[in-house]
């Protein structure tokens, strides 16, 4: 495997855009690392905001390894001024604990890009922002964090955002990089379709400790079909233009995947981390309650996922191809 080291003096980094933007990446896991790489690739001034010190950031892609030497900040107290862009890539359940970071990094002209799962970005994150504009984002990228500061990209490069000035600005920010930003006119429908992908595979792989191949079982596929059918009805009530065909398309997506592929929720459980049930299954149940729609399958799955919080994580590292 070849390795290329990229620092602030690299030729690509020296080709700065007309005005290099100040970009902070809060949460440098798999997604955060790939977005940091892209922003650096575009010639912007990128700072990594992490809890533990980081000497360098390594990204593996297509058999090549790229090492980035970027400024690192390990405490909100070290932040001297707001940034132009804050790429929020923490786990959703960790966002409230990042409140001090959010307040130090944001100003009136800051755009906060929420690179998190779920369909309720504004409801969750909006109240935490005293200043700045929130831009929800859907990440269609598969990657895994091998170690602290070392990420392997698997597939995908698209990040979808709502159409508008902020979305267009993000597309310009990352133009010509490994990340492609698309602007969705119907972001509500796009967000619910992404939620369907997460809803089908994430909980079932995490609960069974099996990879995506578990969905190839006829009985598990039928369970997933029921979970998704409930969610489609809820999404429609929320204004998403979902159809019954979205259920089969989602199931076919996983049928086409390699059975040894994994999911982000399975990765988290294998590593002993909390799983993001509140933003996936929990989001469906909360929306169902708002509309009085029965979702017994999703409610049962949510109860089982919450039980994992009581010590059900296995704490065994595993190399998985992530989805969602």
Q: Could you give the CA distance from residue 82 to residue 108 in angstroms, rounded to a whole number?
A: 9
Q: Point out the catalytic residue in the list 194, 211, 269, 277.
A: 194
> Radius of gyration over alpha carbons of the chain, in Å?
19
The residue written with tokens 């929130």 in the block is 134
Active site residue 194: yes
313 close to 151: Cβ distance less than 8 angstroms: no
Residues in contact with 265: Cβ distance below 8 Å, sequence separation at least 6, in sequence order: 198, 202, 203, 205, 206, 275, 276, 277, 280, 324
* Angle, in degrees to the nearest 10, between helices 296-308 and 281-291: 140
The residue written with tokens 């950031």 in the block is 57
Chain-centroid distance, C-alpha 50: 17
Active site residues: 194
């Amino acid at each position: 495997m070849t390795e290329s080291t990229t620092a602030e003096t690299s030729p690509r980094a020296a080709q700065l855009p007309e005005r290099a933007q100040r970009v902070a990446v809060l949460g440098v896991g798999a997604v955060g690392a790939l977005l940091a790489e892209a922003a650096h690739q575009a010639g912007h001034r990128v700072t990594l905001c992490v809890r533990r010190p980081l000497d360098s950031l390594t990204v593996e892609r297509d058999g090549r390894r790229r090492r980035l030497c970027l400024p690192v900040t390990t405490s909100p107290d070290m932040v001297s001024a707001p940034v132009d862009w804050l790429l929020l890539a923490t786990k959703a359940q960790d966002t409230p604990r990042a409140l001090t970071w959010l307040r130090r990094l944001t100003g009136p002209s800051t755009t906060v890009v929420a690179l998190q799962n779920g369909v309720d970005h504004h409801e969750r994150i909006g109240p935490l922002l005293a200043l700045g504009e929130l831009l929800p984002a859907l990440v269609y990228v598969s990657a895994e964090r091998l170690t602290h500061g070392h990420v392997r990209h698997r597939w995908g490069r698209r990040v979808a955002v709502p159409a508008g000035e902020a979305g267009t600005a993000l597309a310009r920010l990352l133009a010509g990089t490994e990340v492609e930003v698309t602007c969705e006119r119907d972001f509500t429908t796009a967000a619910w379709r992404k939620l369907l992908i997460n809803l089908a595979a994430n909980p079932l792989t995490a609960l069974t400790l099996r990879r995506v191949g578990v969905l190839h079982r006829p009985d598990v596929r039928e369970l997933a079909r029921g979970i998704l059918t409930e969610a489609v009805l809820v999404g429609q009530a929320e204004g998403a233009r979902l159809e019954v065909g979205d259920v089969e398309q989602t199931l076919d997506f996983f049928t086409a995947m390699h059975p040894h592929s994994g999911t982000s929720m399975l990765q988290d459980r294998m590593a002993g981390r909390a799983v993001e049930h509140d933003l996936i299954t929990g989001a469906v149940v909360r929306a169902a309650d708002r509309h009085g729609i029965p979702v017994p399958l999703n409610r049962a799955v949510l109860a089982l996922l919450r039980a994992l919080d009581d010590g059900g994580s296995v704490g065994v590292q595993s190399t998985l191809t992530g989805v969602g």
